[in-house]
Structure 1
Amino acid sequence: MRSTRRTPRRTTLRTAAVVVGAAAVLAVPVGSAFADSSAGAPVAPVIVRLADGAVAKVYKTGPNRFEADIFAGSTKLDTLVSRGGGVAYGRTDGLRVVLQPNGGVTSWMEGGEKSRPKPKAQAPAPVRVVMPDGRIAKLVDGAAGGERAVISLRGGEVLGTIDLRHPSAVHDGWTYELVRDGERVKFVVIDGRGGGSGWVYDFGSGKLVETYGAGAGAGVRAGAGSGGLR
């Protein structure tokens, strides 16, 4: 009788390495390597090299069930089990390993891009406005307290601050206001001693967008209950 020798099927593993900063992410699809297991043929473990040089020996131990033994040299560090379509996670000395429901393995090292602090967004620089009374207003946007205006003398001495919670203040007969106009904020300066003339500035740019004389009104008025500068 002639005997036929079957050449063992060879499976080639393809490893995709994605380097992000100092973290190497290795993703290995190994589900196809277990294709013969459903027919009852014994299947050797699939060996996957992990991000820190350790290895994972991946076995298919049943329908929708995979196990991965993690080794550093001859030392077994951990065993991950994925069953019923679930994902298994492992962590050892900064190495993170994920066993996927199809037997695929992903690994990366902590301390790379994921753990780096993200640069903080820088707030816009204040807009400087020289007001008709000779004083200076610095219009500050994007700060923790929201829009605010810092009123000071030319020499730099700060007289006080107004914001949208305390939008109006009076100093030496001059009124300073923050007025919300839809989605925009305007900065208004009113000369109370000179008959009520007013100057309206765009908060974002500091540009003068409107002026009005005594009694004109033009849709801008001093807020009720104005207090002293804080």
Structure 2
Amino acid sequence: MRTTRRTTLRSAAVVAGAATVLALPVGTAFAASPAVREPAPSVRAYVTTVKLADGSVATVHKVGANHFEAEIHAGSTKPDRLVSKGAAASYGQSDGLHVVLRPDGTVTSWMDGTSKPKPKPAAKTEITKENSVRITLPDGRIAQLVDGPNGKRVELSTPKGHALATIDPRRPSAQHDGWTYKLVRDGKQHVKFVVIDGKGGGNSWVYDFDGRLIEKYTVDPAGVGAAGLSRQG
């Protein structure tokens, strides 16, 4: 969530109106029951992105029947995750923000001092067909380039599958360890994915959503003259 968070940490699984408090390790703002095994990221299907009460967002994926995950993103900080499986809702609290991921994939949130929203009748979850391409970036990280009816987005993760960030037109950039990842619109229809090496002086790579490297910019290492442009294929 915010960088000042990580002070009050709690998560609970809610089943049939009964709540169970789960102890979490320090440094985890949101988490699901440790009994839930997380499936491989490749089987997840994007459902929706929800704006939370403190201005951060939750990206919801459907993993399987009655199995949903919500990644909580706040700027470029490490995302937290809620998992709801079967009849259990997943609950998280941090820095005054409360978030609930319900078994139907819906998300509600509220802040301390405000009224808890009443659950709305569950609507039928619609999973839309998407095209996605998985590529390895110059820094070794993995990018899933996704194009579907809800628009384009990029899901960034480590080589071992740990989620880092999701960028889309509403949150078009993220930074990690000196590297910048962003979406750039080229005209009205075309969106490019740009990777910039801030540690290496600004070298950058540009991809289309078919996963092809279409441009590469190389900065003069001596700091003199213009950067070199190489157009691919």
TM-score normalised by L of structure 1: 0.40
Bigger radius of gyration? 1
TM-score (structure 2 length as normaliser): 0.39
